[in-house]
Amino acid sequence: MNNLIRKYNIPGPRYTSYPTVPFWDNDNFSKRGWVETFQRAFDESNEEEGISIYIHLPFCESLCTFCACNKRITKQHSVEIPYIDTVLKEWKMYVDLFSSRPKIKEIHLGGGTPTFFSPENLKKLIDGIFVYADIAEGHEFSLEGHPNNTTKEHLQVLYNLGFKRISYGVQDYDPKVQKAINRVQSFEAVKKATEEAREIGFTSVSHDLIFGLPHQTMSGMIRTIQLTRELNPDRISFYSYAHVPWIKGVGQRGFQDEDLPSPEVKRALYEEGKKMFEDMGYFEIGMDHFALEHDSMYQSMKNHTLHRNFMGYSSSKTKLMIGLGVSSISDSWYSFAQNEKTVEEYEASINRGELSVFKGHILTDEDLIVRRHILNLMCNLQTSWKHPEQKFDGLSQALYLLEDMVKDGLIEIKENELIVNEKGRPFVRNVCMAFDLHLLRNAPETRIFSMTI
């Protein structure tokens, strides 16, 4: 395995979209084009499946130095109401462009720290969304919570609003690791937040853990997973730490590069974690996710309805996802659009009566075919091209580039089908890269992605 890690551990995308953001064609993108595509997606899908909403709540009281998300560090909670008012204005702009009343299948509150906001203000936000919308059948509303500041009041208010799933950022229980990443929280705080969510009625509690963080050791990782076992979360996200200190605004400066585990040690941490999770009754889902058999994510994997977008893996899909808030990314299936990246620019554009979109990409027919293949690989670990509409001009090149992975026993390529073997699961991003025509045609001259392993 170490030889394979050395061979395939290269910079590569995480494929929460295709094309990936660095390869968006902004020159041929316009707000008008974005509006036309999301109206098309809405008309095609709202009645049957509803739409999704991602709401970015960017504020945090302190900076976690491992985090590459868009955030604003402040202890001034006076920012809450103006920001919520702006998000609701943005939502009303979208509603005015829909042809009928939207049905919301999914809401995800991301951050930042959503529980930075008071329970009362979160209620104001969600109630404001549903002034102009209905709840779709089989809806799933979720949020990210910080164990240190998610109160019982937060949980009760959100549960009453229809939220049944919460994800707590745990990362690691080792005090030395917590200090390096400036994310200090006790096991007791996580236990309290987890138990309170279950007592109130949340049906899925997820814990986020990260492997590859500074100062992580095998013994420390084993202890973290043993503590996780005591709480038995319904899902576990076991993410690979993305070390991207060159990205503007990223605070990954609380440690030195030499404090990070080597690629071989990092992969060993994952393999040990995976073994422990499987022994605990979890099933591996896609890439970096695990779920118990009763959880909806496991069920969606079995039913081949697992989906992946900018929110990560989802147990259901909608064709249209509207991103609200600073830096949020929207997806109409036919195009992507991203909002302004600073709170000031975002609020200014909305208050001028304009959508805050500042860049995006309109997918070509070729993009749509390749996007489906990459989604198949990321979600189902296989894809096929049995029908003419599943083929594209770069397919033979992709299969040629994958010959080494076939020889290494990582994948199988049959007449019209590609299957990622269990041995190849750690390298699924590398498989997707062979299909990524934008990456192959425009290989970046500088480092823009984290390592694949």
Which residues define the annotated binding site for S-adenosyl-L-methionine?
A: 54, 66-68, 111-113, 144, 171, 183, 208, 242, 329
CA nearest neighbour of 152 among 204, 208, 81, 202: 202
Cα–Cα dist 421/419, whole Å: 6
Q: List the binding residues.
A: 54, 60, 64, 66-68, 111-113, 144, 171, 183, 208, 242, 329
Question: Taking the C-alpha atoms of 225, 229, 230 and 235 in order, what is their torsion angle to the nearest 10 degrees?
Answer: 110
**Integer CA distances (angstroms), 421 to 286, 293, 320, 340, 425, in order:** 12, 22, 32, 40, 6
Amino acid letter at 258? E
Q: What is the DSSP letter of 115?
A: G
Cα–Cα dist 374/376, whole Å: 5
Cα–Cα dist 405/156, whole Å: 49
CB within 8 Å of 423: residues ≥ 6 apart: 409, 410
Cα–Cα dist 262/247, whole Å: 21
Q: List the binding residues for [4Fe-4S] cluster.
A: 60, 64, 67
289 and 297 in contact (C-beta within 8 Å)?
Answer: yes
